[in-house]
């Protein structure tokens, strides 16, 4: 423990950039209470688009509000709620990078504890009326109250700290498992943040045991207060099921195994959160709080958190306003979309455009049979969406009406955008555009979904190459949030602006890439695989090479990635990169043999794990130079650093930020690496390989 006394909010230095959340207090005399109720509203003065959060100023305001409330006589209940749609979105994330020392982080953790403890230890019953978004420290504030109501229309509830490299350190890790049991708590605190940061909805809280009562949004506050009066007067008894403590060690062990499997324990925050959940079985609240303080201070001072904040801000800011996009005002209206091809990818693209743009989408293929088969696939997908309740009956009917298919390419005549999703070969794509250009208007955007071919070459024979642009979607297109937008030297601003505007309507994060081989994500994943297969070719056993990157916590190991993308595709990419970018992308012969095997290479019983069948193991020829896992890791990271430097030098992207954003959104690279380059920088690899870090301030 530090020698300084335990901090309260009043000890915290002010944070200049804080949007300070006020804690307004009003006293009510509800019928039947026989005394006063204090209703505290947390409100930062902005509408719901700027959620209230807590920095030192906000903590102080609630501290003082509680001082005032506690001085009241005849007080029978204290309730906390938020401004419309927002309860409290947690600690102010902008504040975190300004913490200059571990002591400051510790003080912030202690101050939150000291404040919330007052709600927990209050002799007057305390209530949280969770009317809307309650994240992190906001959720924890509610957990400290003696009772909770939740609006069934609330969204954005949970403890997402682990996703940004922290732990719920204002009591969440200790209260929640003791409230709802460690299994559900581990799901909320660790499982959900590592599962694309899944949030809870208002209707989840009562079934999970987190809230005691739920009320509809229409008169949530009135009904909450009425309920609170009944609880405070003893008319309504709140019963909570006993937490099963016998399962505690087994649940923790299981959760540790899951975190190991999922991210190979690379997330320091996840590991630390599990430690705290384990502690919560036996620790007193005070012991648990102290452990949270230490964990929070450690993590805030650590590299993963800094990288996570960088990544968080990247996704939030750059993800919304792509760098290099021309003025959105130049974008053309898209009233009809053509998709060339009616295969699986084309069908997915057609459905996505129909769902998001809500304009007619027409697919074509070589003959009527293929076209109708493609259409049947899309219709079946719409049926599935409707059956799962993902789309309403009316919207499903609209989608069915919007998507059509034909063998006759004249249907493109009135399209404003035609995107090709045909076989990944330059000649084929050139032929497609040559056939289409005379049919469409001069204004119609021509878009290629190539994953790495030269867009410039594709447009070489076009009469109007200025309306050609690349939009590289990732498979499965409905799920993967990234699209790489590729302009050639000839692409005009209106076309490029339209591509970005379309990406936004498709709800994709767009990252611009120069027209260089494999663009951003595939080039770096290609380089990663090239180094791994290179190590294997040289003599490293697959079992060693495959786990070499585990400590980074990438979403999948290299061979699982190969299994996912498909060996033929990977081999195709490998050859293509070898031709375009040279011998640092060697044409791995082991990869070639696997791609050409003609029998199952991956063990179907371990689907998704990239495990080779016994037969396939016979294909692997190892050279004489075996590397250790550590050496493979170093080789891969150096390769990646070298490739990033090449990409920056070639102008593939204006800065390393776009690379990180693309790797996060397109390849699922974790926040705790900051995507890629913050990790390479902090490990010194950037400087060792290319002479300087990639990010100026990292």
Partner 1 sequence: MNDTIRDVVFVDGVRTPFGKAGKLFEETRADDMIIRCIRSLLRRNPGLPPERVDEVALAATTQIGDQGLTLGRTAALLAGLPKSVPGYSIDRMCAGAMTAVTSVSSAIAARQYDIAIAGGVESMSNHPMGEGVDPNPRIIAEKLVDPEALNMGNTAENLHDLYPHITKARADAYAVGTQQRYAAAVERLSADVTTMAARSTDDGWTVATADELPRPGTTLEGLANLRTPFRPHGRVTAGTAAPLTDGATACLLADAETAAELGLPVAMKMVGYAFAGVDPETMGSGPIPATEKALARAGLSIEDIGLFEINEAFAVQVLAFLDHFKIADDDPRVNPWGGAIAVGHPLASSGVRLMTQLAREFAVHPEVRYGITTMCVGLGQGGTVIWENPNFKGAK
Q: Is 496 exposed, middle or buried (0-12, 13-18, 19+ CB in 10 A)?
A: buried
Joined together, the tokens standing for residue 663 give 């790797």
Cβ-based nearer residue to partner 1, 148 or 645 = 148
Query: Dihedrals φ, ψ of 135, to 5°?
Result: -120, 150
In the bound complex, what is the minimum distance in angstroms from residue 53's beta carbon to partner 1? 17
In the bound complex, what is the minimum distance in angstroms from residue 36's beta carbon to partner 1? 12
According to DSSP, the residues that pair with 130 across neighbouring strands are 150
Catalytically annotated residue among 140, 420, 437, 484: 484
d(CA 658, CA 647): 11
Cβ-based nearer residue to partner 1, 229 or 659 = 229
In the bound complex, what is the minimum distance in angstroms from residue 153's beta carbon to partner 1? 11
Cα four-point dihedral sign 313, 319, 321, 325: positive
In the bound complex, what is the minimum distance in angstroms from residue 144's beta carbon to partner 1? 19
d(CA 243, CA 178): 7
Please name the residue that has the structure tokens 């499903």.
396
In the bound complex, what is the minimum distance in angstroms from residue 31's beta carbon to partner 1? 6
Cβ-based nearer residue to partner 1, 224 or 658 = 224
In the bound complex, what is the minimum distance in angstroms from residue 59's beta carbon to partner 1? 17
d(CA 471, CA 325): 13
Cβ-based nearer residue to partner 1, 126 or 174 = 126
For 144-208, strand residue ranges (E) read: 147-151, 157-158
Cβ-based nearer residue to partner 1, 219 or 358 = 219
Catalytically annotated residue among 113, 144, 146, 472: 472
In the bound complex, what is the minimum distance in angstroms from residue 131's beta carbon to partner 1? 9
Cβ-based nearer residue to partner 1, 89 or 263 = 89
Active site residue 472: yes
In the bound complex, what is the minimum distance in angstroms from residue 217's beta carbon to partner 1? 10
Q: Name the nearest CA neighbour of 585 among 638, 631, 633, 643.
A: 643
Q: Name the nearest CA neighbour of 471 among 666, 677, 676, 675.
A: 666
In the bound complex, what is the minimum distance in angstroms from residue 251's beta carbon to partner 1? 39
d(CA 218, CA 635): 59
Cβ atoms of 326 and 356 within 8 Å: the answer is no
Catalytically annotated residue among 53, 307, 522, 627: 522
**Residues 6+ away with beta carbon under 8 Å from 431:** none
Across the chain, which distance is largest between two alpha carbons, in Å? 86
What contacts 24+ positions apart, CB below 8 Å, involve 475-481? Answer: 475/345, 475/348, 476/348, 477/345, 477/348, 477/349, 477/352, 478/348, 478/351, 478/352, 480/665, 480/666, 481/507, 481/508, 481/509, 481/665, 481/666
Joined together, the tokens standing for residue 631 give 């050496």
What does each C-alpha distance from 542 to 434, 553, 591, 651 come to in angstroms? 45, 18, 12, 35
Cβ-based nearer residue to partner 1, 220 or 412 = 220
In the bound complex, what is the minimum distance in angstroms from residue 155's beta carbon to partner 1? 18
Active site residue 195: no
Cβ-based nearer residue to partner 1, 31 or 329 = 31
Active site residue 484: yes
Please name the residue that has the structure tokens 């060690």.
249
Cβ-based nearer residue to partner 1, 25 or 480 = 25
What does each C-alpha distance from 295 to 4, 162, 165 come to in angstroms? 18, 12, 11
**Helical H segments across 506-547, by residue range:** 521-538, 542-546
In the bound complex, what is the minimum distance in angstroms from residue 25's beta carbon to partner 1? 7
**Helical H segments across 388-520, by residue range:** 393-402, 426-436, 455-458, 493-505
What does each C-alpha distance from 227 to 30, 150, 236, 241 come to in angstroms? 11, 12, 8, 20
Catalytically annotated residue among 163, 289, 451, 627: 451
d(CA 635, CA 642): 10
d(CA 661, CA 682): 18
Cβ atoms of 637 and 680 within 8 Å: the answer is yes
Question: How would you classify residue 343: left for phi > 0, otherwise alpha for psi between -120 and 50, otherwise beta?
Answer: beta
Q: Name the nearest CA neighbour of 149 among 90, 196, 202.
A: 202
Cβ atoms of 72 and 63 within 8 Å: the answer is no
- Return residues touching partner 1 (CB under 8 A): 22, 24-26, 28-31, 39-41, 43, 45, 81, 83-84, 216, 218-222, 225-226
Cβ-based nearer residue to partner 1, 39 or 59 = 39
What does each C-alpha distance from 74 to 26, 28, 233 come to in angstroms? 14, 11, 13
d(CA 201, CA 407): 45
Cβ-based nearer residue to partner 1, 100 or 219 = 219
Q: Which residues are catalytic?
A: 451, 472, 484, 522
């Amino acid at each position: 423990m530090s020698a300084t006394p335990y901090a309260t909010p009043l000890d915290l230095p002010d944070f200049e950039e804080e949007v300070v959340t006020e804690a307004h207090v009003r006293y009510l005399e509800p019928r039947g209470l026989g005394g006063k109720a204090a209703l505290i509203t947390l409100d930062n003065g902005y509408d719901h688009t700027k959620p209230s959060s807590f920095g030192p100023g906000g903590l102080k305001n609630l501290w003082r509000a509680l001082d005032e409330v506690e001085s009241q006589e005849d007080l029978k209940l204290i309730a906390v709620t938020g401004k419309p749609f927002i309860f409290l979105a947690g600690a102010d994330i902008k504040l975190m990078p300004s913490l200059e020392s571990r002591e400051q982080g510790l003080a912030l953790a202690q101050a939150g504890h000291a404040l919330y403890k007052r709600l927990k230890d209050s002799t007057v019953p305390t209530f949280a009326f969770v009317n809307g978004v309650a994240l992190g420290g906001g959720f924890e504030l509610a957990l400290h109250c003696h009772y909770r109501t939740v609006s069934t229309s609330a969204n954005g509830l949970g403890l997402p700290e682990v996703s940004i490299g922290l732990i719920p350190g204002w009591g969440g890790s200790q209260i929640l498992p003791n409230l709802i049991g460690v299994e559900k708590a581990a799901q909320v605190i660790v499982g959900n943040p590592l599962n694309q940061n899944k949030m809870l909805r208002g209707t989840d809280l009562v079934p999970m045991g987190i809230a005691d009562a739920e009320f509809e949004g229409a008169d949530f506050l009135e009904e909450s207060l009425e309920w609170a009066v009944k609880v405070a007067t003893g008319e309504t008894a709140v019963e909570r099921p006993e937490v099963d403590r016998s399962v505690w060690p087994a649940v923790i062990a299981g959760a540790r195994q899951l975190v190991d499997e999922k991210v190979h324990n690379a997330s320091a925050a996840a590991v630390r959160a599990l430690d705290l959940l384990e502690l919560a079985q036996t620790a007193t609240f005070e012991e648990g709080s102290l452990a949270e303080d230490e964990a929070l201070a450690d993590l805030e001072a650590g590299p993963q958190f800094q990288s996570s904040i960088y990544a968080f801000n990247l996704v939030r800011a750059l993800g919304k306003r792509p760098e290099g996009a021309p003025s959105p005002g130049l974008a053309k209206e898209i009233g009809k979309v053509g998709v060339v091809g009616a295969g699986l990818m084309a069908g997915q693209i057609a459905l996505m455009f129909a769902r998001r743009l809500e304009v007619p989408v027409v697919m074509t293929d070589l003959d009527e049979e293929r076209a109708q088969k493609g259409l049947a696939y899309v219709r079946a997908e719409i049926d599935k969406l409707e059956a799962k309740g993902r789309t309403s009956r009316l919207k499903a009917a609209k989608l069915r009406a919007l998507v059509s298919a034909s063998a006759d390419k004249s249907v493109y005549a009135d399209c404003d955008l035609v995107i090709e999703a045909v076989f990944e070969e330059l000649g084929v794509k050139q032929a497609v555009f040559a056939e289409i250009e005379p049919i469409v208007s001069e204004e119609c955007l021509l878009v290629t979904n190539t994953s790495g071919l030269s867009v410039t070459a594709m447009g070489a024979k076009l009469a109007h190459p200025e309306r050609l642009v690349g939009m590289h979607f990732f498979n499965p297109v409905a799920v993967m949030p990234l699209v790489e937008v590729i302009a050639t030297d000839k692409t005009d601003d209106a076309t490029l602006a339209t591509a970005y505007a379309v990406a936004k309507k498709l709800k994709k994060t767009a990252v611009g890439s120069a027209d260089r081989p494999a663009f951003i994500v595939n080039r770096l994943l290609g380089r990663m695989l090239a180094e791994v297969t290179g190590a294997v070719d040289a003599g490293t056993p697959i079992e060693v090479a495959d786990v070499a990157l585990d400590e980074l916590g990438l979403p999948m190991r290299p061979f699982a990635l190969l299994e996912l993308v498909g060996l033929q595709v990977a081999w195709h990419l490998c050859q293509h990169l070898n031709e375009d970018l040279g011998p640092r992308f060697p044409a791995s012969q082991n990869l070639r043999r696997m791609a050409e095997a003609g029998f199952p290479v991956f063990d179907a019983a371990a689907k998704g794990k990239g495990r080779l069948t016994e037969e396939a193991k016979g294909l692997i020829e190892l050279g004489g130079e075996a590397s250790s896992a550590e050496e493979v890791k170093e080789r891969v990271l150096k390769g990646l650093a070298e490739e990033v430097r090449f990409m920056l030098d070639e102008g593939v992207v204006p800065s390393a930020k776009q690379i990180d954003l693309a790797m996060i959104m397109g390849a699922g690279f974790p926040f705790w690496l900051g995507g890629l380059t913050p990790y390479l920088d902090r490990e010194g690899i950037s400087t060792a390989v290319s002479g300087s870090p990639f990010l100026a301030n990292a």
